[in-house]
Amino acid sequence: MKSYEYEVTQIGEATYRLDEYAKTHSYLLVGSEKALLIDTGCGCGHLGKTVESITDKEIIVVNSHGHLDHVGSNYQFEYVWIASQDEALMWDSTSIVFRNERIRSYLLSLDSEFEENELERTIRTPQVKKVYHLTDGQVFDLGDRKIEAIATPGHTQGCYCFLDREREMLFTADTVCDISILLFLENSGSVETYYRSIERLYNRRNEYKVLYPGHHTPALSVDYMHDYLMCARGIMKGSLESVRHIEAIGDGWKSMYGLIGIVYKKEWISDADRASSDEKISMATGQDT
Ligand SMILES: [Zn+2]
Protein backbone atom coordinates (compact mmCIF):
# COMPACT_ATOMS: atom_id res chain seq x y z
CA MET A 1 0.00 0.00 0.00
CA LYS A 2 1.32 3.45 -0.90
CA SER A 3 1.98 6.13 1.70
CA TYR A 4 0.64 9.56 0.86
CA GLU A 5 2.17 11.14 3.94
CA TYR A 6 4.79 13.88 3.86
CA GLU A 7 8.52 13.22 3.84
CA VAL A 8 10.31 15.55 6.25
CA THR A 9 13.90 16.69 5.70
CA GLN A 10 15.75 19.03 8.03
CA ILE A 11 17.53 21.57 5.81
CA GLY A 12 19.00 23.83 8.48
CA GLU A 13 18.72 24.79 12.11
CA ALA A 14 14.99 24.56 13.04
CA THR A 15 14.09 24.52 9.33
CA TYR A 16 12.34 21.68 7.51
CA ARG A 17 11.31 20.85 3.97
CA LEU A 18 8.02 18.93 3.80
CA ASP A 19 7.70 16.98 0.55
CA GLU A 20 4.21 16.12 -0.53
CA TYR A 21 3.45 12.96 -2.52
CA ALA A 22 2.10 15.33 -5.20
CA LYS A 23 5.54 16.94 -5.60
CA THR A 24 5.16 20.32 -3.87
CA HIS A 25 7.74 21.39 -1.31
CA SER A 26 6.36 23.20 1.74
CA TYR A 27 8.70 24.61 4.38
CA LEU A 28 8.45 24.88 8.15
CA LEU A 29 10.55 27.54 9.88
CA VAL A 30 10.49 27.16 13.65
CA GLY A 31 11.28 30.07 15.97
CA SER A 32 11.42 30.30 19.76
CA GLU A 33 7.76 31.39 19.99
CA LYS A 34 6.01 30.64 16.69
CA ALA A 35 6.58 28.68 13.49
CA LEU A 36 5.96 29.73 9.89
CA LEU A 37 4.58 27.21 7.39
CA ILE A 38 5.13 28.21 3.77
CA ASP A 39 2.48 26.60 1.50
CA THR A 40 0.14 23.67 2.05
CA GLY A 41 0.47 21.50 -1.10
CA CYS A 42 -2.39 19.84 -3.00
CA GLY A 43 -3.98 18.38 0.12
CA CYS A 44 -2.54 14.83 0.00
CA GLY A 45 -1.52 13.26 3.31
CA HIS A 46 -1.99 15.00 6.65
CA LEU A 47 0.04 18.19 6.69
CA GLY A 48 -1.36 19.39 10.03
CA LYS A 49 -0.27 16.18 11.76
CA THR A 50 3.14 16.29 10.07
CA VAL A 51 3.66 19.84 11.33
CA GLU A 52 2.49 18.86 14.85
CA SER A 53 5.00 16.02 14.88
CA ILE A 54 7.79 18.59 14.44
CA THR A 55 6.69 21.47 16.67
CA ASP A 56 4.02 22.40 19.19
CA LYS A 57 4.50 26.15 18.56
CA GLU A 58 1.67 28.31 17.19
CA ILE A 59 1.67 27.95 13.40
CA ILE A 60 1.45 30.92 11.04
CA VAL A 61 0.51 29.72 7.55
CA VAL A 62 1.45 31.68 4.43
CA ASN A 63 0.59 30.87 0.82
CA SER A 64 3.25 31.84 -1.71
CA HIS A 65 0.38 32.15 -4.23
CA GLY A 66 -3.11 30.81 -4.92
CA HIS A 67 -2.47 27.83 -7.22
CA LEU A 68 -4.06 24.50 -6.34
CA ASP A 69 -0.75 22.79 -5.50
CA HIS A 70 0.14 25.37 -2.80
CA VAL A 71 -3.15 25.87 -0.92
CA GLY A 72 -4.72 22.38 -0.67
CA SER A 73 -4.31 21.81 3.10
CA ASN A 74 -5.11 25.39 4.13
CA TYR A 75 -8.27 24.07 5.80
CA GLN A 76 -6.19 22.13 8.35
CA PHE A 77 -5.13 25.41 9.94
CA GLU A 78 -7.03 28.22 11.61
CA TYR A 79 -6.07 30.94 9.14
CA VAL A 80 -3.76 31.69 6.21
CA TRP A 81 -1.95 34.73 4.88
CA ILE A 82 -2.08 35.31 1.12
CA ALA A 83 -1.74 38.29 -1.24
CA SER A 84 -5.07 40.05 -1.86
CA GLN A 85 -4.39 39.65 -5.62
CA ASP A 86 -4.49 35.84 -5.24
CA GLU A 87 -7.27 35.45 -2.69
CA ALA A 88 -10.00 34.75 -5.29
CA LEU A 89 -7.69 32.23 -6.99
CA MET A 90 -7.16 30.47 -3.63
CA TRP A 91 -10.94 30.21 -3.02
CA ASP A 92 -11.33 28.79 -6.52
CA SER A 93 -8.47 26.32 -6.04
CA THR A 94 -10.05 25.02 -2.82
CA SER A 95 -13.66 24.80 -4.06
CA ILE A 96 -15.18 21.34 -4.56
CA VAL A 97 -16.24 21.96 -8.17
CA PHE A 98 -12.73 23.04 -9.16
CA ARG A 99 -11.02 20.29 -7.15
CA ASN A 100 -13.27 17.60 -8.55
CA GLU A 101 -12.03 18.47 -12.00
CA ARG A 102 -8.53 19.94 -11.61
CA ILE A 103 -7.11 18.16 -8.55
CA ARG A 104 -8.40 14.87 -9.92
CA SER A 105 -6.72 15.36 -13.30
CA TYR A 106 -3.54 16.81 -11.75
CA LEU A 107 -3.05 13.94 -9.29
CA LEU A 108 -3.84 11.33 -11.93
CA SER A 109 -1.36 12.99 -14.29
CA LEU A 110 1.32 12.58 -11.59
CA ASP A 111 0.33 9.00 -10.79
CA SER A 112 -2.20 7.20 -12.99
CA GLU A 113 -2.65 4.63 -10.18
CA PHE A 114 -3.41 7.14 -7.46
CA GLU A 115 -5.61 5.30 -4.94
CA GLU A 116 -9.30 6.12 -5.17
CA ASN A 117 -9.85 6.66 -1.41
CA GLU A 118 -6.99 9.11 -1.04
CA LEU A 119 -7.98 10.85 -4.27
CA GLU A 120 -11.57 11.38 -3.09
CA ARG A 121 -10.41 12.47 0.37
CA THR A 122 -8.02 15.00 -1.18
CA ILE A 123 -10.74 16.40 -3.44
CA ARG A 124 -13.51 16.66 -0.85
CA THR A 125 -11.97 18.99 1.68
CA PRO A 126 -13.48 22.05 3.36
CA GLN A 127 -12.08 25.57 2.96
CA VAL A 128 -10.02 27.58 5.43
CA LYS A 129 -12.12 29.92 7.59
CA LYS A 130 -9.97 33.02 7.98
CA VAL A 131 -7.71 34.89 5.56
CA TYR A 132 -5.29 37.77 6.10
CA HIS A 133 -3.58 39.75 3.36
CA LEU A 134 0.18 39.82 2.96
CA THR A 135 1.89 43.15 2.36
CA ASP A 136 5.24 43.73 0.71
CA GLY A 137 8.00 43.97 3.32
CA GLN A 138 5.85 42.56 6.11
CA VAL A 139 7.90 40.77 8.78
CA PHE A 140 6.74 37.64 10.62
CA ASP A 141 8.28 37.64 14.08
CA LEU A 142 8.77 34.05 15.28
CA GLY A 143 10.57 35.08 18.49
CA ASP A 144 14.28 34.65 17.84
CA ARG A 145 13.72 34.62 14.09
CA LYS A 146 12.25 37.14 11.65
CA ILE A 147 10.99 36.31 8.15
CA GLU A 148 10.30 39.00 5.55
CA ALA A 149 7.55 38.64 2.93
CA ILE A 150 8.58 40.04 -0.47
CA ALA A 151 6.00 40.63 -3.22
CA THR A 152 7.23 39.03 -6.46
CA PRO A 153 4.34 39.10 -8.97
CA GLY A 154 4.82 37.29 -12.28
CA HIS A 155 3.94 33.59 -12.12
CA THR A 156 0.67 34.88 -10.58
CA GLN A 157 -0.23 38.47 -9.73
CA GLY A 158 -0.01 37.69 -6.01
CA CYS A 159 3.25 35.69 -5.73
CA TYR A 160 5.40 36.17 -2.63
CA CYS A 161 8.88 34.98 -1.61
CA PHE A 162 10.02 34.72 2.02
CA LEU A 163 13.44 35.75 3.27
CA ASP A 164 15.24 34.57 6.41
CA ARG A 165 18.07 37.07 6.32
CA GLU A 166 19.88 35.77 9.37
CA ARG A 167 20.08 32.21 8.03
CA GLU A 168 20.55 33.52 4.45
CA MET A 169 17.67 31.44 3.06
CA LEU A 170 15.22 32.62 0.40
CA PHE A 171 12.03 30.60 -0.10
CA THR A 172 11.03 31.20 -3.71
CA ALA A 173 8.06 28.82 -4.37
CA ASP A 174 7.14 29.08 -8.09
CA THR A 175 8.96 32.39 -8.68
CA VAL A 176 12.36 30.68 -9.03
CA CYS A 177 12.51 26.90 -9.64
CA ASP A 178 14.76 24.55 -11.49
CA ILE A 179 13.76 23.76 -15.13
CA SER A 180 11.31 26.57 -15.93
CA ILE A 181 8.90 29.21 -14.72
CA LEU A 182 5.41 29.49 -16.18
CA LEU A 183 4.08 32.93 -17.12
CA PHE A 184 1.38 31.81 -19.58
CA LEU A 185 -1.34 30.96 -17.08
CA GLU A 186 -4.60 32.87 -16.78
CA ASN A 187 -3.42 34.57 -13.58
CA SER A 188 0.14 35.29 -14.70
CA GLY A 189 1.56 38.77 -15.08
CA SER A 190 3.63 40.02 -18.00
CA VAL A 191 7.29 39.11 -18.56
CA GLU A 192 8.05 42.74 -17.59
CA THR A 193 6.29 42.30 -14.22
CA TYR A 194 8.23 39.10 -13.59
CA TYR A 195 11.48 40.79 -14.64
CA ARG A 196 10.97 43.58 -12.09
CA SER A 197 10.36 40.99 -9.34
CA ILE A 198 13.50 39.05 -10.20
CA GLU A 199 15.48 42.28 -10.43
CA ARG A 200 14.41 43.19 -6.88
CA LEU A 201 15.47 39.78 -5.59
CA TYR A 202 18.71 39.88 -7.58
CA ASN A 203 19.57 43.30 -6.15
CA ARG A 204 19.33 41.76 -2.66
CA ARG A 205 21.46 38.71 -3.51
CA ASN A 206 23.96 39.47 -0.74
CA GLU A 207 21.15 38.72 1.79
CA TYR A 208 20.76 35.01 0.92
CA LYS A 209 22.96 32.11 -0.13
CA VAL A 210 20.49 29.37 -1.09
CA LEU A 211 17.09 29.37 -2.82
CA TYR A 212 14.41 26.94 -1.67
CA PRO A 213 11.80 26.50 -4.43
CA GLY A 214 8.30 25.00 -4.40
CA HIS A 215 9.06 22.20 -6.88
CA HIS A 216 11.80 20.08 -8.49
CA THR A 217 15.41 20.34 -7.22
CA PRO A 218 14.99 21.31 -3.57
CA ALA A 219 17.90 23.76 -3.10
CA LEU A 220 19.33 26.08 -5.75
CA SER A 221 22.33 28.36 -5.96
CA VAL A 222 21.96 32.13 -6.38
CA ASP A 223 23.14 31.66 -10.00
CA TYR A 224 19.57 30.70 -10.85
CA MET A 225 18.44 34.22 -9.96
CA HIS A 226 20.94 35.59 -12.45
CA ASP A 227 19.77 33.20 -15.19
CA TYR A 228 16.11 34.12 -14.70
CA LEU A 229 17.01 37.81 -14.77
CA MET A 230 18.93 37.39 -18.04
CA CYS A 231 16.23 35.18 -19.54
CA ALA A 232 13.43 37.69 -18.79
CA ARG A 233 15.59 40.56 -20.07
CA GLY A 234 16.37 38.62 -23.29
CA ILE A 235 12.67 37.95 -23.92
CA MET A 236 11.86 41.66 -23.46
CA LYS A 237 14.65 42.66 -25.85
CA GLY A 238 13.72 39.95 -28.36
CA SER A 239 17.27 38.60 -28.28
CA LEU A 240 16.47 34.99 -27.28
CA GLU A 241 15.14 32.24 -29.49
CA SER A 242 11.78 30.77 -28.59
CA VAL A 243 10.11 27.43 -29.21
CA ARG A 244 6.45 26.53 -29.02
CA HIS A 245 5.46 25.04 -25.64
CA ILE A 246 2.19 23.17 -25.23
CA GLU A 247 0.90 21.35 -22.17
CA ALA A 248 -2.46 20.34 -20.73
CA ILE A 249 -2.81 23.53 -18.65
CA GLY A 250 -2.13 25.91 -21.53
CA ASP A 251 0.39 26.94 -24.15
CA GLY A 252 2.95 29.58 -24.88
CA TRP A 253 6.53 30.04 -26.03
CA LYS A 254 9.67 28.99 -24.19
CA SER A 255 12.99 30.81 -24.17
CA MET A 256 16.05 29.39 -22.41
CA TYR A 257 19.02 30.94 -20.66
CA GLY A 258 21.68 28.78 -18.97
CA LEU A 259 19.92 25.86 -17.33
CA ILE A 260 16.47 27.41 -17.09
CA GLY A 261 13.61 28.62 -19.23
CA ILE A 262 10.61 30.93 -19.08
CA VAL A 263 7.33 29.95 -20.73
CA TYR A 264 5.28 33.00 -21.71
CA LYS A 265 2.72 34.43 -24.12
CA LYS A 266 4.15 36.61 -26.89
CA GLU A 267 1.20 38.98 -26.48
CA TRP A 268 1.96 39.45 -22.75
CA ILE A 269 5.57 40.65 -22.78
CA SER A 270 5.14 44.23 -21.54
CA ASP A 271 2.75 45.42 -18.84
CA ALA A 272 0.96 47.52 -21.49
CA ASP A 273 0.53 44.45 -23.75
CA ARG A 274 -0.84 42.41 -20.83
CA ALA A 275 -3.33 45.16 -19.92
CA SER A 276 -4.54 45.60 -23.50
CA SER A 277 -4.90 41.84 -23.93
CA ASP A 278 -7.16 41.85 -20.81
CA GLU A 279 -9.16 44.67 -22.40
CA LYS A 280 -9.60 42.72 -25.63
CA ILE A 281 -10.89 39.71 -23.69
CA SER A 282 -13.36 41.83 -21.73
CA MET A 283 -14.61 43.52 -24.92
CA ALA A 284 -15.06 40.14 -26.59
CA THR A 285 -16.96 38.68 -23.64
CA GLY A 286 -18.73 41.90 -22.65
CA GLN A 287 -17.39 41.59 -19.11
CA ASP A 288 -15.64 44.07 -16.89
CA THR A 289 -12.23 42.97 -15.67
ZN1 LIG B 1 2.06 27.98 -9.23
Output 276 or 278, whichever has higher pLDDT.
276
* C-beta atoms surrounding 126 within 10 Å: 10
Judge whether 24 lies within some domain.
yes
Distance in Å, CA 265 to ligand 1 centroid? 16
CB 161 within 8 A of CB 211: no
Distance in Å, CA 270 to ligand 1 centroid? 21
Distance in Å, CA 225 to ligand 1 centroid? 18
Distance in Å, CA 214 to ligand 1 centroid? 8
Q: How does DSSP assign 220-236, residue by residue? A: EETHHHHHHHHHHHHHH
Residue 288: pLDDT band by 50, 70, 90 thresholds? very low
Distance in Å, CA 173 to ligand 1 centroid? 8
**Counting Cβ atoms within 10 Å, is residue 21 exposed (0-12), middle (13-18) or buried (19+)?**
buried
Distance in Å, CA 107 to ligand 1 centroid? 15
Judge whether 1 lies within some domain.
no
Judge whether 253 lies within some domain.
no
Distance in Å, CA 32 to ligand 1 centroid? 31
pLDDT tens-digit map of 173-217: 999 999 999 999 999 999 999 999 999 999 999 999 999 999 999
Distance in Å, CA 26 to ligand 1 centroid? 13
Judge whether 96 lies within some domain.
yes
- Whether 267 shows a pLDDT value over 60: the answer reads yes
Distance in Å, CA 200 to ligand 1 centroid? 20
Judge whether 21 lies within some domain.
yes
Judge whether 179 lies within some domain.
yes
Q: What's the domain range around 120?
A: 7-227
**What DSSP designation does 266 have?**
G
Judge whether 286 lies within some domain.
no
Judge whether 258 lies within some domain.
no
Please give the angle made by the CA atoms of 136, 141 and 145, to the nearest 5 degrees.
110
**Average confidence (pLDDT) over 64-93:** 98
| C-alpha distance from residue 81 to each of 73, 101, 174, 256 (Å) | 13, 26, 17, 33
| C-alpha distance from residue 158 to each of 81, 135, 269 (Å) | 11, 10, 18
pLDDT tens-digit map of 93-130: 999 999 999 999 999 999 999 999 999 999 999 999 99
Distance in Å, CA 286 to ligand 1 centroid? 28
For 127, the 3-state DSSP assignment is: coil
* Nearest-angstrom CA–CA distance, 13 and 168: 12
Beta strands, E only, the chain:
7-12, 15-19, 25-30, 34-38, 58-62, 79-82, 130-133, 139-141, 146-151, 160-164, 169-173, 180-182, 210-213, 220-221, 243-247, 250-257, 260-264
CATH number of the domain bearing residue 120: 3.60.15.10
Answer yes or no: pTM beyond 0.85: yes
- Whether 289 shows a pLDDT value over 60: the answer reads no
pLDDT at 278: 73
pLDDT at 1: 72
| C-alpha distance from residue 185 to each of 77, 93, 113, 136, 157 (Å) | 28, 14, 27, 23, 11
- Into how many domains does the chain fold? 1
pLDDT tens-digit map of 120-159: 999 999 999 999 999 999 999 999 999 999 999 999 999 9
Distance in Å, CA 50 to ligand 1 centroid? 23
Distance in Å, CA 271 to ligand 1 centroid? 20
**What DSSP designation does 249 have?**
T
Distance in Å, CA 112 to ligand 1 centroid? 22
Distance in Å, CA 239 to ligand 1 centroid? 27
